[in-house]
C-alpha cells in the first residue's frame, strides 16, 4: 500500500468539514441505551463459542487526575482526595470479576492498556493489586510479544517508578507532552518539565520497555510555528517509537474544561495549517512513517509493519495492531468491542460505582452490528488503515457485487478522484499521497448514518 504522504494546502482547505474519526463504525453516536447488560452477555457468550475464539485485549480506564488540563476532552475526575480513587479501584476490581466470568479462561489477554485520566495517579501497590486482580480473572499473557501499556504522566512519576511498572508486566509506556513552550503550558494549565520528560523516555529504554509513544497537540493557545518546531525537534531527538500529533478541537459546548481557554489565543486556521505542515515534514524528514489520522511511527514499529501487511485496525486509542482480538472495556465510560457489538460502560462515575456495587455489569449503551454495518465497517477500516480497498475482498466476505451495492458511493467519490484524493479502477480504490491527509472525508462517503448527524457540531474538523 501507499505509505507516502503529501501536504496540499488547497485540498485540505476545500475538504475541511466536521467528521468522525472512525475509531469505531458505527460511531458512538449510534450506540443505543436499549443495548443492555443482557445483550452484552449474549455477545460475549457467542464470542466464546466461535470456532476459534479470539484472544482478548483489555482496556482499563483510571479516570483520576491531580489537576485539570484545559484542552482536555477525556472522561476524567480531577481531585486531590485519594480516598475517592481508592473507592473507585475497589469497585473496578469487582467489575474485573464480573467481566472475567463472561469469558472463557483459555482466551489469552495479549494486549492490555491502562488509560485515563492519569493511571499513575495511583501508587505502585494499588496498580500492582489491580494487575494481580486482572491476572486472577483473565489469562494474562507472559509472552514477550504481549503489548501491555500504561499512560504515564511525567508530572507525577519519576523514573524510579518505571521499574515497578516493568515488574508488573508493562512493556510499553505512552506519555503526553503536548508542547514544551512554557507560555503554551501555562495557557493550558499543564506545566511539565522537559528534562524530566526526556529522562523518562531514556529511563524506560534502559529498563527494557520496548515501545514509547508520545502525544503532542497542535492548535493550542499561544502556539507559534517557531515554538512548535522546537517542540517537535526536541521530542524527535528522544526517538519515541510512536508519535500522535493531534489537532486541538475547540469544542467548549461539549468539553467544559475548554471553557477555561481564551478562544482569542487559539492559532488562526492559517497558522494551524502551517503547524500541521511543519509536523508532517519534520517527522517524515526524521524518518517517521505517516500511519494516518495524526499517527506516526518508526519504520520498524509494529504499527508500520501491520499497516504494510494489512493487519492494522482503528480502535478507541487510534490505530492498533492485534486486529484479531475482542476488546473488553473496564472502568467508567470505557468501550468494548466483542464479536459483532460495541458496548459502553456508564459515563457518570457515581452511577457506575452504584451499579457495580450492586453486582451488576455497568453497561450503559451499545450496538449490535447488522450485516450492512459489518460490511461498511470493513470498508471504512480498509480506507482508514490501509488507504486501499479491493472490491473482491468485500465481495467474497459479504456475497455482494461491490459496484452494484455501492453505486451511490462510487458516484460520490468521482469528485474526490477528480481532485486527486484517490484513484479508482474497476476493482479497487487507492488513496493518493495527498488523499492520505483526508482519509476520513473518503470514509465518510461510506457512512450510512452520517446524513442525520452532518449538521450537528459534535465532530471535530480537519483543521
Ligand atoms: S489531559 Fe489527561 S492529565 Fe490532563 S486532565 Fe485530561 S485526562 Fe487528566
- Any ligand 1 atom below 6 A from CB of 188: no
Answer yes or no: is pLDDT of 463 > 70: no
CB atoms within 10 A of CB 189: 15
Q: What percent of the chain has pLDDT over 90?
A: 91
Q: How many CA atoms lie within 13 A of 119 on its CB side?
A: 27
Q: From the CB of 154, is ligand 1 less than 6 Å away?
A: no
Per-residue confidence (pLDDT) for residue 453, from 0 to 100: 65
pTM of the model: 0.95
Looking at the DSSP assignment, which residues form a beta bridge with residue 173? Answer: 150, 212
Residue from 64, 68, 69 whose mutation best tests the ligand 1 pocket (most atoms within 8 A of CB): 69
Q: Within 10 Å of residue 341's Cβ, how many Cβ atoms?
A: 21
Dihedral angle computed from the Cα positions of residues 411, 412, 417 and 422, in that order, rounded to the nearest 10 degrees: -110
Nearest 5°: phi and psi at 174? -130, 145
Q: How far is the CA of 257 from the centre of ligand 1 (A)?
A: 10
Task: Using alpha carbons, select from 224, 237, 231 the residue that is nearest to residue 272.
Answer: 224
Neighbours of 208 (CB within 10 A): 11
Point out which residues pair with 178 in neighbouring strands: 216
Query: Is position 92 within any domain?
Result: yes
Q: Distance from the CA of 67 to the center of ligand 1, in angstroms?
A: 8
Residue with CA at minimum distance from ligand 1 atom 2: 117
Predicted confidence at residue 315, as pLDDT, reads 87
Classified as helix, coil or strand, 168 is: helix
User: For residue 433, what is the domain's CATH number?
Assistant: 1.10.10.920
> Is the distance from the beta carbon of residue 116 to the nearest atom of ligand 1 less than 6 Å?
yes
Helix ranges (H only) for 5-81 are: 9-14, 37-48
Percent of residues, the chain, with pLDDT higher than 70: 97
Q: Are residues 144 and 78 part of one domain?
A: yes
Say how far apart CA 434 and CA 437 lie, in whole Å: 6
130 and 18 in a common domain: no
Give the number of the atom of ligand 1 that is nearest the alpha carbon of residue 71. Answer: 1
Same domain, 392 and 307: no
The rounded distance, in Å, linking the Cα atoms of 294 and 350 is 34
State the distance from the centre of ligand 1 to the C-alpha of 177, rounded, in angstroms. Answer: 11
Assigned domain for 87 exists: yes
Clarify whether residues 410 and 319 are in a common domain: no
pLDDT at 20 over 70: yes
Phi, psi of 237 (to 5 degrees): -60, -30
Residue 357 lies in a domain: no
Domain coverage including residue 66: 27-335
pLDDT tens across 91-122, in order? 999 999 999 999 999 999 999 999 999 999 99
Q: Please state, in angstroms and rounded to a whole number, the distance separating the CA atoms of residues 44 and 91.
A: 21
62 Cα to the center of ligand 1, angstroms: 11
- Cα–Cα distance for residue pair 54/56, rounded to 1 Å: 6
C-beta 21 within 6 A of ligand 1: no
Binning pLDDT at 50, 70 and 90, where does residue 420 land?
Answer: very high
CA angle 175, 215, 165 (to 5 degrees): 15
Number of domains making up the chain: 2
Q: Mutation test of ligand 1: which of 67, 72, 185 has the most ligand atoms closer than 8 Å to its C-beta?
A: 72
Residues 265 and 323 in one domain: yes
Looking at the fold, whether 18 and 87 belong to one and the same domain comes out as: no
**pLDDT tens readout for residues 308-327:** 998 899 988 889 988 889 99
pLDDT exceeds 90 at position 346: yes
Amino acid at each position: 500500500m501507499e505509505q507516502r504522504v503529501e501536504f496540499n494546502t488547497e485540498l485540505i482547505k476545500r475538504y475541511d468539514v466536521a467528521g468522525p474519526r472512525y475509531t469505531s463504525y458505527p460511531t458512538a453516536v449510534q450506540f443505543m441505551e436499549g443495548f443492555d447488560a443482557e445483550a452484552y452477555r449474549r455477545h460475549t457468550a457467542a464470542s466464546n463459542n466461535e470456532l476459534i475464539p479470539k484472544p482478548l485485549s483489555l482496556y482499563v480506564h483510571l479516570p483520576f487526575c491531580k489537576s485539570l488540563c484545559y484542552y482536555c476532552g477525556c472522561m476524567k475526575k480531577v481531585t486531590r482526595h485519594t480516598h475517592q480513587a481508592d473507592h473507585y479501584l475497589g469497585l473496578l476490581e469487582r467489575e474485573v470479576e464480573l467481566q472475567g466470568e463472561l469469558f472463557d479462561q483459555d482466551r489469552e489477554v495479549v494486549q492490555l492498556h491502562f488509560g485515563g485520566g492519569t493511571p499513575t495517579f495511583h501508587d505502585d501497590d494499588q496498580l500492582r493489586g489491580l494487575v494481580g486482580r486482572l491476572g486472577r480473572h483473565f489469562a494474562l499473557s507472559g509472552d514477550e510479544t504481549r503489548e501491555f501499556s500504561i499512560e504515564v504522566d511525567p508530572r507525577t512519576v519519576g523514573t524510579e517508578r518505571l521499574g515497578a511498572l516493568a515488574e508488573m508486566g508493562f512493556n510499553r509506556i505512552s506519555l503526553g507532552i503536548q508542547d514544551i513552550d512554557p507560555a503554551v503550558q501555562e495557557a493550558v494549565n499543564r506545566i511539565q518539565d522537559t528534562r524530566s520528560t526526556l529522562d523518562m523516555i531514556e529511563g524506560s529504554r534502559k529498563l527494557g520497555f520496548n515501545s514509547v509513544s508520545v502525544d503532542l497537540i497542535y492548535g493550542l493557545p499561544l502556539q507559534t510555528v517557531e515554538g512548535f518546531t522546537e517542540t517537535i525537534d526536541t521530542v524527535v531527538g528522544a526517538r519515541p517509537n510512536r508519535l500522535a500529533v493531534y489537532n486541538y478541537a475547540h469544542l467548549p459546548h461539549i468539553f467544559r474544561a475548554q471553557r477555561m481557554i481564551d478562544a482569542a489565543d487559539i492559532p488562526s486556521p492559517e497558522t494551524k495549517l502551517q503547524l500541521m505542515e511543519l509536523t508532517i515534514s519534520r517527522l517524515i524528514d526524521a524518518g517517521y512513517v505517516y500511519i494516518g489520522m495524526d499517527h506516526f511511527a518508526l519504520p520498524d514499529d509494529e504499527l508500520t509493519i501491520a499497516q504494510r501487511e494489512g493487519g492494522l485496525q482503528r480502535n478507541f486509542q487510534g490505530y492498533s495492531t492485534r486486529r484479531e482480538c475482542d476488546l473488553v472495556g473496564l472502568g467508567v465510560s470505557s468501550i468494548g468491542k466483542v464479536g459483532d457489538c460495541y458496548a459502553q460502560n456508564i459515563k457518570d462515575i457515581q452511577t457506575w460505582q452504584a451499579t457495580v456495587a450492586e453486582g451488576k455489569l455497568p453497561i450503559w449503551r451499545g450496538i449490535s452490528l447488522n450485516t450492512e454495518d459489518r460490511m461498511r465497517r470493513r470498508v471504512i477500516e480498509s480506507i482508514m488503515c490501509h488507504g486501499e480497498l479491493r472490491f473482491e475482498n468485500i465481495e467474497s466476505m459479504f456475497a455482494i457485487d461491490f459496484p452494484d451495492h455501492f453505486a451511490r458511493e462510487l458516484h460520490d467519490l468521482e469528485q474526490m478522484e477528480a481532485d486527486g484524493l484517490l484513484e479508482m479502477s474497476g476493482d479497487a480504490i487507492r488513496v493518493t499521497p495527498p488523499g492520505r491527509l483526508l482519509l476520513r472525508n473518503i470514509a465518510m462517503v461510506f457512512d450510512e448514518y452520517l446524513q442525520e448527524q452532518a449538521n450537528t457540531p459534535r465532530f471535530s474538523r480537519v483543521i
